[in-house]
Amino acid sequence: MIRRVLAGIDAVSLFATEGRAMVDTKNNDNKRIRLEDVSKVWDGLAAVDQVTFDVSPGEFVILLGPSGCGKSTTLRMISGLEQTTAGRIVIGDRDVTREPPGNRGISMVFQSYALFPHLSVADNIVFGLRSRKVPKPQRQERLERVARMVGLEDYLDRKPAQLSGGQRQRVALARAIIAENAICLMDEPLSNLDARLRGDMRREIKALQQRLGMTVVYVTHDQVEAMSMGDRVILMHSGRIVQDGSPAELYNRPTTAFAASFIGSPAMNLIELEAMEGQTFIAKEPTVPIAWGDAGHCLLGLRPEDIVIQPSSAAGMPAQVIDEEYLGADTIVRVRVGNQTLRARLPGQQSMPSEHCRVDWPVTAAHFFTADSGERRDDIDAVAPATANSRSPISRDTAQPFPDQGAKR
C-alpha cells in the first residue's frame, strides 16, 4: 500500500508544475525526444550503457528486452525520476538532463497504476489538474471528455478498490491523458491484466495515441505488445541497444542472434554450424554443406514457420518427430535433427503420419550469425540442406508436405 501511494506521488509530480502553461499538443517541437550517450551506473555497474536514440513527434516507440536489461531505468531517466550518470536528454530543443520531472512536459503510466486508494476515480484523474490550480469548470469539462474516451463515465464516484484491474488501468491512462502533455511514458502498463484484456487495452492505447497525436515511449518485455503497438522497437540487452527498427525489420532481419531468439514465438531455431575444409561450413550433425566466403563458426537461424516437414523419402535433413502441440490456428511440431531440436510451425491441426521425416526450408529463409559475437552475416551464400547438388532449392510453393499433412480444421 505504502509503495503504491509513493508511486502515486511520483506519477502525480510529473503533472504538478504549478502555473506551467499547458503543452500545446499540436506543437511538434515539444514531442521530440533525444537521448545522447545516456548511462546509469549503480554500484559500479552500468544498468544503462551509452544509449542513444531519437523519438520523432507522434511516434510510438517500444523499449523491449528481458528483465533487468535497463528499460525502466531508461524510461525513468527520460521522465526525470532518475538522474543520469552520463549523457544528455533533450526534449524538443531543451536540454532537460538536469530538469526536475515537472518541468519536462511528460505524463507517465506505471505498471502499478499508482492510484490514490482514498480518492474517487474522478479525484484520481483530476489530481494533477487540481495541483496545477486549473479552474473547476475546466477540470470538470476535461474530466468528462477523458472519462468518455476511456469508458469510465459510470465509475467516476467509485474508489480504486471497487474497480477491476482493467478499469484501474483506464484510470491511470485517463490521468495521463488529461494532463494534455505531448509525451507519455508507459512502464509495463498492461502486465497486471489478463490476456484478453491486455489485447483490448493494446488496441485502445494505440488508438488513443493516434487520435491524440502523442509521442509514446512504452516499456515492455512482451514481444507481442512490442510488435503490435510499436511504430518502432528498440531492443535492449544488458543496458545496451541491440537493434532499433520497425517490428517487421526486427522480425525479418534480426541483426544479432539475441534479437533473432528474442523476437518470435516459438523462437527462431538456431543451429550450430562449424567450419570444414576451407570455405565450406557444415552442421555439426547432420552434415549440411554451406557455401561460405569466410572462415569461422556460425549459427543457422530458421523461423519455425519456414521449416517444412516432408516424408522420409523426400529431400531434406533426416529428422525424428518428438511431439506435436496443437494451438488452434496451428501446430508446433518438435523434431530432432542430429543432436539438435527444431520447432516447426505448421498451419491448422497436424498429426505426423510417421516418426521419421525430413526437414527442409526455402533457401531465402535462412539467417546466419557468427557463433561468438552473434552478429548477423549477410555474406553467406547458403544452399539447401541434404545433398547440395541433388536438387534445386525449395521454396514455399514447391515444398512437398507429407501427403496427408494437409491442415485439418
Ligand X SMILES: Nc1ncnc2c1ncn2[C@@H]1O[C@H](COP(=O)(O)OP(=O)(O)OP(=O)(O)O)[C@@H](O)[C@H]1O
The residues binding ligand X (CB under 6 A) are 42, 47, 65, 67-73, 221
Nearer to ligand X, 71 or 175 (CB): 71
At its nearest, how many Å lie between ligand X and the CB of residue 188? 7
DSSP H stretches of helix in 236-367? 247-252, 257-262
Give the pairing of strands 60-64 and 215-220.
parallel
Q: How far is the CB of 69 from ligand X (least distance, A)?
A: 4
Q: Which residue, 221 or 367, has its beta carbon nearer to ligand X?
A: 221
Cα distances (Å, whole numbers) of residue 360 to 210, 217, 289: 42, 40, 13
Dist. CA 255–CA 32, nearest whole Å: 26
Q: Which is nearer to ligand X, 87 or 318 (CB)?
A: 87
* Three-state DSSP class for residue 409: coil
CB burial readout 270-288, b (16+ within 10 A) else e: bbebebbeeeebbbeeeeb
In angstroms, give the least distance from the CB of 76 to ligand X. Answer: 8
For residues 191 and 287, which CB has a smaller minimum distance to ligand X in the complex? 191
> Residue 171 burial by CB count (10 A; 0-12/13-18/19+): exposed, middle or buried?
buried
Minimum Å gap between C-beta 236 and ligand X is 7
- Beginning with the edge strand found earlier in the chain, give each strand of the sheet holding 232-237 in spatial order: 106-109, 183-187, 215-220, 60-64, 232-237, 240-245
The smaller minimum CB distance to ligand X, of residues 17 and 243, is found at 243
Q: How far is the CB of 169 from ligand X (least distance, A)?
A: 17
Residue (43 or 378) nearer to ligand X, CB = 43
Nearest-approach distance from CB 33 to ligand X, in angstroms: 17
Instruction: Read off the amino acid at residue 284.
Output: K
Residue 378: all three cell numbers together: 549477410
